[in-house]
Amino acid sequence: MVFSKRIGIDLGTANVLVYVKGRGIVIKEPSVVAVSTKDGSIKAVGAEARDMLGRTPETIEVVRPMKDGVIADYVITEEMLRHFIGKAAGRFSLGGPEVMVCVPGGVTTVEMRAVRDAALNAGAKHAWLIREPLAAALGAGIPVSAPSGNMVIDIGGGTTEVAVISLNGIVVGNSVRLGGNHIDEEIMNYMKRSYGLIIGDRTAEEIKIEIGSAVPLPEEEKKTMNVKGRDQVTGLPRTVTVTSDEITEAIAEPLDSIVNAVLVVLEETPPELMSDIIDKGMVLAGGGALLRGMDKLLAERTGIPCCIAENPLDCVAIGTGMALEHLDVLRDSLIED
């Protein structure tokens, strides 16, 4: 008997991850597509397309079809999904694979339909959707089926998802269109404002990862970094040295909004579940969980202990795969085709 393949997809603003049962994460590539400006044909997808960024002739445009956690370009997203599903399922898959795609907790019904249709048009036999915080919680190994409150905060590239989960469902949730990309933007703004230096988003991300911190670092851990950019006035290359403290200040605003999104959920959490969360703490997932001191900032501002999931960048993809194995119990929490 031939089983169709089961594939879990984390369709992220920054990265697409594909999980196949028994093989783990088989694809991890940036959500970037290179398109011909002449006829709209797809020239490259994923890492290959990302490498073309800023290096294309007029005939090719490199786009990110997902923006702020939702589909910004439906046609290109579908092509991107088709490419990744084909790559993961291989040519032996009969009748197309069964696919679980995760969507941000705050997407509208129209947006959900668009993702589901994109998966079906891209060759899936069945397509289920799972809300991102639930997938993140599953992937982080949180016992979501227990009658007990679990809080998960998933900070991605374009969105932050906060949810309290109990009995396989989201009891209270909040989704804000704010994530790592906005933190990078604040770093770009800061460099321009304070030093008249123009930097690109990849440099801003490097600064964030190398010396960024959500809270001021202790004296012995403070860092500096030489940043290369273009002088705003002369247009010539220039290097400036920035400190971790400067970056902490520069990114305070978006981090504050993330903390507020968490506080809103805590305010709405029923007392019984709140008491479970105080005992167990909150779990941080998504790439933003890796920002230095993010767990500390959240713990300080909420008074609740905070820990980082084991594989914060892979949690959601692993969770989509796990959801396919537990369709029976999760069915009520999924959106089905």
Contact residues toward ligand ATP (CB under 6 A) are 10, 12-15, 69, 156-159, 179-181, 205, 208-209, 286-288, 290-291, 313
Annotation-wise, does 205 bind a ligand? yes
Annotation-wise, does 330 bind a ligand? no
- Closest distance of CB 57 from ligand ATP, Å: 28
Distances in whole angstroms, Cα of residue 86 to Cα of each of 28, 32, 162, 321: 14, 17, 32, 17
- Closest distance of CB 184 from ligand ATP, Å: 6
Report the residue number, 207 or 274, with the smaller CB distance to ligand ATP: 207
- Closest distance of CB 65 from ligand ATP, Å: 12
Retrieve residue 203's tokens: 């440099």
Annotation-wise, does 14 bind a ligand? yes
Give the type of residue at 319: G
66: phi then psi, degrees, rounded to nearest 5: -105, 130
Annotation-wise, does 136 bind a ligand? no
Report the residue number, 258 or 291, with the smaller CB distance to ligand ATP: 291
Report the residue number, 274 or 283, with the smaller CB distance to ligand ATP: 283
Annotation-wise, does 335 bind a ligand? no
Cα–Cα distance measured from residue 289 to residue 312, given in angstroms and rounded to the nearest whole number: 7
Report the residue number, 17 or 273, with the smaller CB distance to ligand ATP: 17
- Closest distance of CB 265 from ligand ATP, Å: 17
Cα–Cα distance measured from residue 190 to residue 107, given in angstroms and rounded to the nearest whole number: 31
Retrieve residue 159's tokens: 């969105």
- Residues making up the binding site: 13-15, 157-159, 205-208, 287-290
- Residues making up the binding site for ATP: 13-15, 157-159, 205-208, 287-290
